[in-house]
Amino acid sequence: MTVLKSRIETRAARHSRAYAALLYCSLPILLLLSTYAASQHLPPNASVFGGENGFGEAAQSIVQQHRWGFVDKTYGLWCYACRMPVIPVLEAASSRLSPKMATFLVLKNLLFWPLWAFAFFRLKRHYRIPDKWASVTVLLLLLAPYNLNIAGWVDVEEGFLFALIALSFSLLLTLEGTLSALALGLSIAAIYLTKSSMLPLCIVVSIWIVIRYWRNPKVVAIPILSMALAMFGWGIYVHAVSGVFAFGADASSWNGWNFYKGNNPYAYSLYPRVSLDTLDSEDRAHGLLPFVPIHSEWELNHAQFGLARTFIREHPGAILQMDLKKLFVACCDVKESPEKTEGHTRIAIVLSNAVSHLTLACVFLLVIANVLRRRVSQAEILAVLLTFAYLLPYFAVFLYMRHMVPIYGVMNLTLAVQLARWHTPGPEMRGLGDIHDR
């Protein structure tokens, strides 16, 4: 019996070392694959000043004109609040080293993937997740090449939010003292200053901190003050340069052009296969222009917001149908949205969407099962809350598959926690982050 037990232990140790080796070797592979996939979208000799979605123009203004903002080409207006500052500031900083977008791409991924890895291993240590279950998180990323692609991108906010939201998720569950509270505060502030429609998520995070850590005032105060400083600092700056105090950007999901772009007579027939950005083209944009004189970005914002609210009020049935489409994209649709080539979905995207949707379904089913068993963990509760808070702004406008990538990252981390707890015997399970022992 002793010999048999020794053989079993030796075999288990061998398997454990193999899983550990696989886990640690796969992390640099994630970095390399993500960077390579994202680099395929860059034209030769691309410049950081040519970045899409207004980020490049804002970076160029910082470097060459020493001012914030850029000219909206559609309306000829100077925009101070069309984009949040994190991405343009990082692009401007990268241009000091090299103006090439490829340099920024490498630097960005060398900075943000280690943040994700830190979040991953911190969560792994806190929940004592065995290497074999931790490897599931990495495997799910490798099986979803589109998600890896978006996580590496530099021209979309989701490429930055993927690591920042994972880091916040991990720190929210493992706050221990001043340094971790400061790191959490910086990550929350960075999330908001990357994409202003993340305000609901930041509010949920703040409420979680207060409820979860109220016995430690310092741990509560540091991230809350960091978030408040980011919000009010940005609002005060925008007020100083444009005369309007704003929580966020005038092109965010909650107001302005994007809000009207998702709530107008043309959106339903286009969404989700055709990008709603086609409404910016000259042959379509005239149908969405306000019927009043426009003299500033905020006048445009208020006029378009008013038009969107009117459409919502007068066409509630169309809004409901649009919301059902968004729900389908979020959790069921395996096709490409929007399609790069009309009528064609790439195989890698079908695989990525299938893996992501199955992961999302598994996480939520296990959450329900653990609620019924009264064994739900804080990681599961937080993951659900962050998912709903994250998606809320997108349901106000429009939701494409790339928007889901940061939440799929959180689902991958949560599933590893769930698998570790699910395969742990009952009495020992309480030590793995059970809600009742906190």
Mean pLDDT of the chain: 86
pLDDT at 343: 67
Nearest to 394 by CA among 301, 322, 317: 322
**pLDDT score of 427 more than 50:** no
pLDDT confidence tier of residue 428, bands split at 50, 70 and 90? very low
Query: What pTM value is reported for the model?
Result: 0.92
pLDDT at 285: 58
Report the percent of the chain where pLDDT is more than 70.
87
Mean of the pLDDT values across residues 279-292? 64
Structural Rg of the chain based on CA atoms = 23
Give tens-digit pLDDT for 295-339. Answer: 778 888 888 888 889 999 999 999 999 999 999 999 999 999 998
**pLDDT score of 431 more than 50:** no
Nearest to 216 by CA among 224, 227, 226, 228: 224
Torsion of CA 268, 269, 270, 271, to 10 degrees: 40
What number of other Cβ atoms are within 10 A of residue 103's Cβ? 14
CA 342 from chain centre, in angstroms, equals: 26
CA distance 411 to 380: 9
pLDDT at 430: 46
CA 265 from chain centre, in angstroms, equals: 29
Reading the block at residue 96, the tokens are 């000091």
Query: Does 81 or 84 have the greater pLDDT score?
Result: 84
pLDDT at 394: 92
HEC assignment per residue over the chain: CHHHHHHHHHHHHHHHHHHHHHHHHHHHHHHHHHHHHHHCCCCCCCEHHHCCCCHHHHHHHHHHHCCCCEEECCCCEEECCCCCCHHHHHHHHHHHHCCEHHHHHHHHHHHHHHHHHHHHHHHHHHCCCCHHHHHHHHHHHHCCHHHHHHHHCCCCCHHHHHHHHHHHHHHHHHCCCHHHHHHHHHHHHHHHHHCHHHHHHHHHHHHHHHHHHCCCHHHHHHHHHHHHHHHHHHHHHHHHHHCCCCCCCCCCCCCHHHHHHHCCCCHHHHCCCCCHHHHHCHHHHHHHCCCCCCCCHHHHHHHHHHHHHHHHHHCHHHHHHHHHHHHHHHHCCCCCCCCCECCECCHHHHHHHHHHHHHHHHHHHHHHHHHHCCCCEHHHHHHHHHHHHHHHHHHHCCCCHHHHHHHHHHHHHHHHHHHHHHCCCHHHHCCCCEHHHC
CA distance 411 to 359: 7
Mean of the pLDDT values across residues 274-296? 71
Report the percent of the chain where pLDDT is more than 90.
58
**Cis (ω within 30 of 0) for the bond into 338?**
yes
pLDDT at 369: 93
Contact predicate 238/80, CB 8 Å: yes
**pLDDT score of 14 more than 90:** no
Give tens-digit pLDDT for 216-272. Answer: 999 999 999 999 999 999 989 888 888 888 777 665 656 677 888 889 888 999 999
**pLDDT score of 281 more than 70:** no
Contact predicate 242/80, CB 8 Å: yes
Contact predicate 160/153, CB 8 Å: no
Domain boundaries, the chain: 19-437
Contact predicate 152/158, CB 8 Å: no
**pLDDT score of 208 more than 60:** yes
Amino acid at residue number 26: S
Give tens-digit pLDDT for 361-401. Answer: 999 999 999 999 888 999 999 999 999 999 999 998 999 99
Say if strands 77-79 and 70-72 run parallel, antiparallel, or are unpaired: antiparallel
Contact predicate 334/387, CB 8 Å: no
CA distance 298 to 78: 11
pLDDT confidence tier of residue 77, bands split at 50, 70 and 90? confident
